Chain A
Amino acid sequence: MRKFIRPLACLAALLASCSKEARQFRAGPATGRAPAIAQSELFPGLTAPPASGPNPYEGNAHALAEGRRLYRWFNCNGCHFNGGGGIGPPLMDDQWIYGSEPANVFATIVQGRPNGMPSFHQRLNDQQVWQIVAYVRSLGKLPDAGKPPQRASEKSAARDVKSDPE
């Protein structure tokens, strides 16, 4: 029975890169970490929200291995098994209730979801969450499955992680 309570880690790189745009919108309750993400494909006034960025660890094989380890250590597998689901829904199929983009999966893990997905806000730091995101997306063979995703050349993962919020 180990305790993993840690102080809140610095804001997610994503929050940093989106914060300019995000300020144009009404701020939600401050979680201090999760970027604003769209849960809908309906955009009033035809204005799509800014695209959420990639996982800073996209394509990073070490992060993927860490994500796999953490996925088991934090008992994600007790509810989702090896992606086929059980108590929680499958993570390897192409149906996503709360979105499959890295930022969506990040938010799901940190915030929890109403029908029984625990909030891991107090148990995982941002780096760990991104590592798990990489692993979760690899279950369904989504882009960060260890091979370089398309946008990797434009944005270096390392730079994203280190950038400070403005």
Chain B
Amino acid sequence: MTAALLIGPAGSAAPEGEWHMAAKNHANTRYSALDQITIENAGRLQPAWTFSTGLVRGHEAAPLVVGGTMYVVTPYPNILYALDLARNGALKWKYEPKPTPSSQGVACCDVVNRGAAYFDGKIIYNTLDAHTVAVDAKSGREVWKTKVGDINRGESITMAPLVAKGKVLVGNSGGEFGVRGWVKALDAGSGSVAWTAYNTGPDRDVLIGPEFQPFYESDRGEDLGVKTWPPEAWRIGGGTVWGWISYDPELDLLYHGTGNPGPWNPEQRPGDNKWTAGVFARRPDTGAARWFYQWSPHDLYDYDGINENILVDLEWEGKPRKVILHPERNGYIYVLDRATGEVLAADPYAYITTTTKIDLSTGRPVHVEAKKPKLGEVVRDIAPAAPGAKDWQPAAYSPRTGLLYLPHQNLRMDQEVMEANYIAGTPFVGAEVRMYAGPGGHRGEFEAWDPIARREVWQIKEQFPVWSGTVVTAGDVAFYGTMDGWFKAVNARSGEILWEFKCGSGIIGQPITYLGPDQRQYVAVLSGVGGWAGAVVAGQLDPRDGTGALGFVNAMKDLPHHTARGGMLYVFRLP
């Protein structure tokens, strides 16, 4: 039996019935100890109340619950709504940061926002035009607002911040715009920038110093963030931080992934392209790098390394070990020692044609020659496709079942690369892509994975990519949503569907669960299709052009026949 211990959120004593950050806790487990909703009674769930956001783009955010209030961040224009849980979600106030409309032009994959964080009386989140804002949780008044990026360099922000040790950690988006990726720490009280760590360039910018001890040889050496690129290419080389950040208070380490190198055309950037498509462990106080591991050195397929790093303590080969569980875009689930960055295991959880394995002695993937991109040539049957076997949509881990719950996709692609021309503020990609379903014809899966046995336990096939997040509870129920609008409760042990409800629009949001003021357990999720996968509906794209939305349209031509746009929060409970 798995002996898994959970790390509680450091310092912040969030009551178990509340939800203070998108990933629920610093360990990013999205596990809730609430157990009123069970395998036996989940079939009787009913809608309790709903709330319309009034917007039609993709709704990826996790709502927060603090005290008797729920907070919902919308996609652009990033409105923050405060809803009164004692009055069926009646609107208390709204805050409008008014990001510049032009920022919509530099959002690669719909104008989404992945949520907020609560800390010390403030709701803190990012706006599409690269500002971080802190809003008084009671009054809705702006406390501070800090400009952290520049849309004219192609920077935007879509990620949910994490607050650790009084610092707000935020990172940029723009890996398809030739930005230089970074993560910043802002003082939670004042909003001033405490440190900035770039993920390309000289060591001093990357905050690599004497403390840096990467596990693998290929990550050791001076200024690799410059030397593993053609001259100056690191300045526009990507390595953004638009995904998840986790924090281990015992080791005092932050973990964040880094996005794909730019441009997608790999022939324009020979070298390992450090420190893109990997994971950094950093000190929250200074940003100093402790270790780094690169999932995809010299990435060939837009495999951003930004997926969640879930922190759990496992009994690994007879010994307790502090690990990271990371379902990577390249199709492997990694188990890493989170003190050292050593890869303990990397097993395929999806259909893969691009690599044959991860070589555990070097940590590097072994590539299939025939699938490597070549200038002016269409390479077919590349799997996983550009969004990977799993994109941003976060998994959950239950210490009760010892299983990881993975929403993901089953897609492959045909790709042709060509020379990309860098013009600041416009896309820097150099690839033409057409995606389509992987083996079996279904495009999505929701699966349970056993990290100790290193195998899949059960799987639910879905017609469309499962682009929603998930949550798992002590009632052994997991929740997820589908892009055609079904919100589902699943038996976390068997994979049996216990209940489903048809929401107004496709679901790509992150479900949460909480205790209401009436001490009853609720489950909440945003419906509102979009995101990269749902761009064909959210952006009303023309499905005749399969290359649309970086080739995702080709795989989603039928989505407009299954769902329409419209953001709505749904809240469910037992009768």
* B422: interface (CB < 8 Å): yes
Q: B540 to chain A: which residues have CB within 8 Å?
A: 85, 89-90, 95
Which single residue of chain B is at the shortest CB-CB distance from A91?
Answer: B542
Question: B423–A86 contact, CB under 8 A?
Answer: no
Q: Tell me, rounded to whole Å, the shortest Cβ–Cβ distance linking A114 to chain B.
A: 5
Question: A82–B545 contact, CB under 8 A?
Answer: yes
**CB contact list, A85-131 vs B, under 8 A:** 85-90, 92-93, 95, 114-118, 123
Question: A84–B543 contact, CB under 8 A?
Answer: yes
* B515: interface (CB < 8 Å): no
Instruction: Please report the C-alpha to C-alpha distance between residue A82 and residue B545 in the assembled complex, in whole angstroms.
Output: 6
Which single residue of chain A is at the shortest CB-CB distance from B425?
Answer: A118
Q: B553 to chain A: which residues have CB within 8 Å?
A: 81, 84, 86
Q: Tell me, rounded to whole Å, the shortest Cβ–Cβ distance linking A116 to chain B.
A: 2
Interface residue stretch chosen among B100-108, B132-140, B353-361, B483-491? B100-108
Question: A87–B542 contact, CB under 8 A?
Answer: no
* B544: interface (CB < 8 Å): yes
Q: Tell me, rounded to whole Å, the shortest Cβ–Cβ distance linking A155 to chain B.
A: 31
* A54: interface (CB < 8 Å): no
Instruction: Please report the C-alpha to C-alpha distance between residue A93 and residue B429 in the assembled complex, in whole angstroms.
Output: 24
Question: A115–B105 contact, CB under 8 A?
Answer: yes
Contact of A88 among B105, B428, B547 (CB under 8 A): B105
Q: A84-B543, A85-B539, A93-B542 are in contact. Are A79 and B105 (CB under 8 A)?
A: yes
- Chain A contact residues (Cβ within 8 angstroms of B): what range? 20 to 34
Question: A73–B426 contact, CB under 8 A?
Answer: no
* A158: interface (CB < 8 Å): no
Which single residue of chain A is at the shortest CB-CB distance from B539?
Answer: A85
**CB contact list, B81-107 vs A, under 8 A:** 101-107
Which single residue of chain A is at the shortest CB-CB distance from B546?
Answer: A84
Q: B388 to chain A: which residues have CB within 8 Å?
A: none
Question: B542–A90 contact, CB under 8 A?
Answer: yes
Q: A75-B426, A75-B427, A79-B105 are in contact. Are A86 and B421 (CB under 8 A)?
A: no
Instruction: Please report the C-alpha to C-alpha distance between residue A93 and residue B541 in the assembled complex, in whole angstroms.
Output: 9
Instruction: Please report the C-alpha to C-alpha distance between residue A27 and residue B347 in the assembled complex, in whole angstroms.
Output: 67
* B176: interface (CB < 8 Å): yes
* A1: interface (CB < 8 Å): yes
Instruction: Please report the C-alpha to C-alpha distance between residue A2 and residue B422 in the assembled complex, in whole angstroms.
Output: 8
Instruction: Please report the C-alpha to C-alpha distance between residue A123 and residue B428 in the assembled complex, in whole angstroms.
Output: 16
Instruction: Please report the C-alpha to C-alpha distance between residue A27 and residue B543 in the assembled complex, in whole angstroms.
Output: 41
* A83: interface (CB < 8 Å): yes
Contact of B548 among A86, A115, A117 (CB under 8 A): A86
Q: A123 to chain B: which residues have CB within 8 Å?
A: 423
Instruction: Please report the C-alpha to C-alpha distance between residue A118 and residue B102 in the assembled complex, in whole angstroms.
Output: 8
Instruction: Please report the C-alpha to C-alpha distance between residue A66 and residue B545 in the assembled complex, in whole angstroms.
Output: 21
Q: B105 to chain A: which residues have CB within 8 Å?
A: 79, 87-88, 115-118
Q: A85-B548, A90-B541 are in contact. Are A74 and B101 (CB under 8 A)?
A: no
Instruction: Please report the C-alpha to C-alpha distance between residue A95 and residue B176 in the assembled complex, in whole angstroms.
Output: 27
* B395: interface (CB < 8 Å): no
Contact of B176 among A1, A78, A85 (CB under 8 A): A78
Instruction: Please report the C-alpha to C-alpha distance between residue A93 and residue B421 in the assembled complex, in whole angstroms.
Output: 27
Q: B427 to chain A: which residues have CB within 8 Å?
A: 75, 78-79, 87
Question: A75–B548 contact, CB under 8 A?
Answer: no
Instruction: Please report the C-alpha to C-alpha distance between residue A1 and residue B546 in the assembled complex, in whole angstroms.
Output: 29
Question: B545–A75 contact, CB under 8 A?
Answer: no
Q: A86-B548, A90-B540 are in contact. Are A79 and B426 (CB under 8 A)?
A: yes
Q: A95 to chain B: which residues have CB within 8 Å?
A: 540
Instruction: Please report the C-alpha to C-alpha distance between residue A62 and residue B36 in the assembled complex, in whole angstroms.
Output: 70
Q: A86 to chain B: which residues have CB within 8 Å?
A: 535, 539, 541, 548-550, 553
Q: Which of B101, B176, B421 has the most CB of A within 10 A?
A: B421
Which single residue of chain A is at the shortest CB-CB distance from B424?
Answer: A1
25 CB-based A-B contacts, threshold 8 Å: A72-B418, A75-B423, A75-B427, A78-B176, A78-B428, A78-B429, A81-B545, A81-B548, A82-B548, A85-B545, A86-B548, A86-B549, A86-B553, A87-B106, A87-B108, A89-B541, A93-B542, A114-B102, A115-B101, A115-B104, A116-B102, A116-B104, A116-B105, A116-B107, A118-B426
Given contacts A84-B547, A116-B107, 14 further A-B contacts (CB under 8 A): A1-B422, A73-B421, A78-B426, A84-B541, A84-B549, A85-B542, A90-B545, A115-B102, A115-B104, A115-B105, A116-B105, A117-B105, A118-B105, A123-B423
Closest 5 CB pairs of A and B: A116-B105, A84-B545, A78-B427, A84-B548, A116-B104
